[in-house]
């Protein structure tokens, strides 16, 4: 039987500008505008998983403004169940102001808008849906109270990509199996848990996360691949591609990882991560977050 992934997370409209280089503080630069793109770490991960063939349901909120439509476009077109997404009259849709430079590196400022309303009270209205999920996937773009409530409701596997790293309940965070984090986030999470790493080498970070109490962890390393700890450490290579835009590549990885774990119950985390790395690599070869994600029929780089 097909499993279900429930994402409790953020939905944003991404306002993307392209520049030769990022501005210095106090500097004004000319850039090139782009369409308003669909984004938000929660929505990106949900769309990435749905495009890989997973059955995905979303718990979240948008505003009643003109950014709502572009923000939810791909969630609808990729077949994500949006029954538990509420349009809030007196709120604005989450907004991300993104700058991408010539090397494909980005900076992002997020204005949460309606995502800030996905708190414990809101999430508790969707407890049954969350409890029925095989996997519940969370990020750091909803309030910590909503995060805690979602983990408390979950009866299946909980996967957490705490991006950005916000101060969440320790017990809830340690339910992650796996925790997905980049090197920088892994360091911040260890600090938050009061077990700072002595070394910022990925292997040391991964081992420290296991020592801190996580059953498993995946450290994403961009063009260098990923590292899985479950608790044995396995280096995951990634195909070498020409990066055009890295926005949402980590989200593509997280969504694809969940889709693979659902599609092949019992698969080793390292094997699911190998697939996710290829999906992430595909995504950096195209512009945007969700707009860059492969469908099940697309040829993934080797």
Contacts of 64 (CB under 8 A, 6+ apart): 87, 88, 89, 90, 91
Nearer to ligand RIB, 174 or 176 (CB): 176
Closest approach of Cβ 182 to ligand RIB, in Å? 11
The token pair that represents 1 in the structure block: 């039987």
Residues 173-212 that bind ligand RIB (CB under 6 A): none
Q: How far is C-alpha 241 from the geometric centre of its chain's CA atoms?
A: 21
- Residue 90 has, within 13 A of its CA and on its CB side, a CA count of 1
The token pair that represents 299 in the structure block: 């040829």
39 binds ligand RIB, rule: CB under 6 A: yes
Among 75, 92, 108, 197, binds ligand RIB (CB under 6 A): 108
182 annotated among ligand-binding-site residues = yes
248 binds ligand RIB, rule: CB under 6 A: yes
* Catalytic machinery residues: 251
289 binds ligand RIB, rule: CB under 6 A: yes
The token pair that represents 83 in the structure block: 């029954």
Residues in contact with ligand RIB, counted by CB under 6 A, come to a total of 15
256 binds ligand RIB, rule: CB under 6 A: no
Strands 94-100, 4-8: pairing kind: unpaired
Nearer to ligand RIB, 41 or 278 (CB): 41
Which candidate, 75, 56, 222, 284, places its Cα nearest to that of 300?
A: 284
Among 50, 96, 209, 217, binds ligand RIB (CB under 6 A): 96
Give the CA radius of gyration of the chain.
Answer: 18
Which residues make up the interface to ligand RIB (CB under 6 A)? 10, 12, 14, 39-41, 44, 96, 108, 110, 141, 247-248, 251, 289
């Amino acid at each position: 039987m097909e499993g279900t992934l429930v994402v409790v997370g953020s939905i944003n409209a991404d306002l993307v500008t392209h520049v030769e280089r990022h501005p210095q503080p106090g500097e004004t630069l000319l850039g090139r505008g782009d369409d308003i793109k669909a984004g938000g770490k929660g929505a990106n991960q949900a769309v990435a998983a749905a495009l890989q063939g997973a059955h995905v349901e979303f718990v979240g909120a948008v505003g009643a403004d003109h950014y709502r439509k572009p923000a939810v476009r791909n969630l609808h077109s990729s077949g994500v169940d949006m029954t538990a997404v509420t349009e809030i009259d007196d709120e604005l849709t989450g907004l991300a102001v993104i700058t991408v430079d010539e090397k494909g590196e980005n900076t992002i400022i997020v204005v949460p808008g309606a995502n800030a309303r996905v708190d414990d009270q809101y999430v508790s209205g969707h407890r049954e849906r969350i409890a029925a999920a095989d996997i519940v996937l969370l990020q750091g773009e909803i309030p910590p109270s909503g995060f805690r409530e979602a983990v408390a409701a979950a009866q299946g596997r909980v996967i957490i990509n705490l991006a950005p790293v916000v101060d969440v309940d320790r017990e809830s965070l340690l339910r992650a199996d796996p925790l997905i984090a980049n090197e920088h986030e892994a360091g911040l999470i260890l600090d938050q848990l009061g077990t700072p790493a002595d070394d910022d080498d990925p292997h040391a970070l991964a081992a420290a996360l296991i020592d801190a109490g996580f059953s498993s962890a995946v450290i994403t390393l961009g063009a260098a691949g990923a590292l899985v700890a479950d608790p044995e450490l396995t280096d995951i290579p990634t195909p070498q591609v020409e990066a055009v835009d890295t926005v949402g590549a980590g989200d593509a990885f997280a969504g694809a990882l969940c889709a693979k774990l659902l599609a092949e119950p019992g698969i080793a985390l390292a094997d699911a991560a190998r697939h996710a790395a290829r999906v992430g690599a595909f995504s950096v070869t195209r512009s945007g977050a969700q707009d860059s994600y492969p469908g099940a029929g697309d040829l993934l780089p080797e």
